[in-house]
Structure 1
């Protein structure tokens, strides 16, 4: 049987954070402060991955948009018709969303 030790760190928490950790442990949601902090780090990691995925999607959408403009695939909308045009796009998006479900 291999015994593995985990690295330890000293961290400084605000009074509010320390009370939150204590409350989460006291209520039984977590067994100890380390579990609370590991869960917090998992959430930070998850959020970072989600942010990276959103950024990549935005970059791809921007590239598609610029390529469409360069190829002449766009609609020129006058300022006074912009609100109606955007509203129609929203309706199309809602229709597509409902069609998927």
Structure 2
């Protein structure tokens, strides 16, 4: 896929979620998060490359809902940044 993003109509469910998200005071209400505690140290370069390949393969991860002509459309991008940010948590001394 190359060139300009592909635009498609959104489903009624996608449009409803878009409106809820944009009118809500809590912008994180539909985000799902989870933590893993790996058994061994992660190789950051391998993790970044794996995530980039997942994003490249699955267009749902490259799709944004955008307003267009009074409606909501799906904009499928050919590429998007697949950034992985490392955050280190340190426990406070007890």
- The structure in which a higher percent of residues are helix is 1
Larger radius of gyration: 1
Fold match (TM-score > 0.5)? no
Q: TM-score, length-normalised on structure 2?
A: 0.27
Normalising by the residue count of structure 1, what TM-score does the alignment of the two structures yield? Answer: 0.26
Larger strand proportion of the pair: 2
**Larger RCO of the pair (alpha carbons < 8 Å, separation 6+):** 2
